[in-house]
Chain A
């Protein structure tokens, strides 16, 4: 069953400084299947959000796509996003790919009623839509995400954090997109609300056949919602595979460390072991495997050559030279 709706191939994003290219994302490839939820995990600054913004061509002006292709399969065939101009992107944004932002309070305009903000998303892509139809659609969307349509005329500040995130999701659904990219959708929420929002995303994905690209640093969130996971480190994907497999038998030392970094409830009160060192400077990445300076398994060979992803199991790939790895406990675990 291979029906990719979004295919990113060898994506490089960075900026130039003094003639030299600094890469934030260097060689990211993945496929997002129709109706699938893919989790993109990694620590702050590893290039998750940059990857997402590059897909929509919403990068900050100083960043640009250096190379790589992004193909989107729509009803009208394959669209090569990397060849689209800014004007051409406008028709694509939201209609095919929409975003759920991290902070819903900041992503909603404080002086506009939410009915108007959702209505605007519809009108932008269907300027001829008549008022009654738009109003009806807004009610429908709010109901879909569990908000009483009577609240349509309220302002964002009148909603709680979780409700606001629901508004954001309703907004993302406004134009029936194929793909939703959720960038840390639950980070600002408490755990209970987080679970509700994730459950809603999950339900919508099943009902509407959406493909979801979930970007987060929180592996627990991915464990709950995503069928597949891609772990990023320093601008590269180091491991990818079905969530259950990756979490059960991680095949990259970074993934192992990441999973080990979770404290376990009920055990003795001690912080789990941190990963020693700090993420590399993107202007001067280490040669070979980018994780080797911090890796507990590093050998001489790790600092040479390119580390490509290679299969280590059923649909499971790792960029570690020594994969498949012996499963040794490095800390806690996400179970």
Chain B
């Protein structure tokens, strides 16, 4: 990370600017992750994918959806000077599809990850803080979502929602985000609840109550900030799992046929019989990209957990 936190603060102006302060804190956090080799690998890979997502549209040699891209004379051809990553069954450039795919994979992963983290934290905090029957009901729900088998449930749900694609923001991509969010929050809830159970007995919570604070105030001001480190560590993993889940659902043909994600490219390759024909250039790049991207998130998650978890201090 070449940019120092001081430079960032300077660029943003005054020392007292709360936004600048916040950004400085964030820069510091990112830099401390980058200091560990594992974290550096993760951050560089993620940064690379983010860049691809941002610039993919501009960098892609052709738009795979335009009719001009179809070139049936050059179907299923290996990498060449004209097509660095070869062509698909319709003669379209695979590099373009690969570059465009980063955006969908990243957006779906982030959206589903954030949604899971938000649902998971809210449910976990409510269950742990209120206890009693609220806890029992929410924990029951949580257990239920933890044990349902992901693949059949997600496939079934995505399939059933296909007809409503037009009414859901984001169309079929939106459906995938929804399905991943609904199946992804339960793990976060479990961890957050466990943490809140011990937090709510801490004396500063009683002090806040003796100050006349409401339950909502205590949850927002004291419980949430104290569980944020584990929420962060966990969300990073959920983003990774969502990227994987998106690829999986797309591979089952549940993705948006009009947009390209790494998962849909894999699906198309499978449909076109790329594996039988030995067309490695069709499936290898998106497959490797997904693997690396997911590994990068796991690496960052591991570093955050090491820094925030009590196990690290014990060592």
Q: Mark B167-208, 1 if CB is under 8 A from A, else 0.
A: 000000000000000000000000000000000001110111
CB distance from B128 to the nearest CB of A (A): 16
Complex: how many Å from CA A177 to CA B132? Answer: 34
- B80 touches A (CB below 8 Å): no
- B211 touches A (CB below 8 Å): yes
Q: Mark B203-230, 1 if CB is under 8 A from A, else 0.
A: 1101111111110010001100110000
Q: Knowing A99-B207, A106-B202, A107-B203 touch, does A124 contact B213 (C-beta < 8 A)?
A: yes
Do A106 and B213 touch (CB < 8 A)? Answer: no
Chain B hits for A101, CB < 8 A: 203, 206-207
- A91 touches B (CB below 8 Å): yes
| Size bin of chain B's contact surface | 10 to 19
- A121 touches B (CB below 8 Å): yes
Complex: how many Å from CA A108 to CA B210? Answer: 13
Complex: how many Å from CA A171 to CA B213? Answer: 14
Option from B202, B212, B213 in Cβ contact (under 8 Å) with A92: B212
Complex: how many Å from CA A94 to CA B222? Answer: 18
Chain A hits for B206, CB < 8 A: 58, 101, 107
Binds B, one of A109-117, A275-283, A316-324: A109-117
Chain A hits for B202, CB < 8 A: 106
Interface of B is mostly: helix
Do A90 and B210 touch (CB < 8 A)? Answer: no
Do A124 and B226 touch (CB < 8 A)? Answer: no
Chain A hits for B214, CB < 8 A: 90
Chain B hits for A99, CB < 8 A: 207, 210
Do B212 and A111 touch (CB < 8 A)? Answer: no
Complex: how many Å from CA A127 to CA B225? Answer: 21
Do A112 and B203 touch (CB < 8 A)? Answer: no
* A60 to B, closest residue via Cβ: B206
Complex: how many Å from CA A90 to CA B208? Answer: 11
Chain A hits for B204, CB < 8 A: 106-110
Do B212 and A109 touch (CB < 8 A)? Answer: no
Chain B hits for A124, CB < 8 A: 211-213, 217
* B211 to A, closest residue via Cβ: A94
Complex: how many Å from CA A190 to CA B84? Answer: 74
Chain B hits for A138, CB < 8 A: none
* B229 to A, closest residue via Cβ: A111
Option from B203, B212, B213, B225 in Cβ contact (under 8 Å) with A95: B212
Complex: how many Å from CA A103 to CA B203? Answer: 8
Chain A hits for B217, CB < 8 A: 124
Chain B hits for A94, CB < 8 A: 210-212
* A106 to B, closest residue via Cβ: B203
Most chain A CB within a 10 A radius of its CB, from B204, B206, B225: B204
Q: Mark A104-134, 1 if CB is under 8 A from B, else 0.
A: 0011111110000000110011000000000
Do A110 and B203 touch (CB < 8 A)? Answer: no
CB distance from A90 to the nearest CB of B (A): 4
Do B203 and A120 touch (CB < 8 A)? Answer: no
Besides A108-B207, A124-B212, 13 new A-B residue pairs in contact (Cβ under 8 A), listed by A number: A93-B210, A93-B211, A94-B210, A99-B207, A101-B207, A106-B203, A107-B203, A109-B225, A112-B222, A120-B208, A121-B211, A124-B213, A171-B207
Q: List 10 A-B contacts (CB under 8 A).
A: A58-B209, A91-B212, A95-B212, A99-B207, A103-B203, A106-B204, A107-B204, A109-B208, A120-B208, A124-B217
> A-contacting residues of B (Cβ < 8 Å)?
202-204, 206-214, 217, 221-222, 225-226
- Sorted from nearest, which 10 A-B pairs have the closest CB atoms? A106-B203, A90-B212, A93-B212, A94-B211, A109-B204, A107-B203, A107-B207, A111-B225, A99-B210, A121-B211
> B-contacting residues of A (Cβ < 8 Å)?
56, 58, 89-95, 98-99, 101, 103, 106-112, 120-121, 124-125, 171
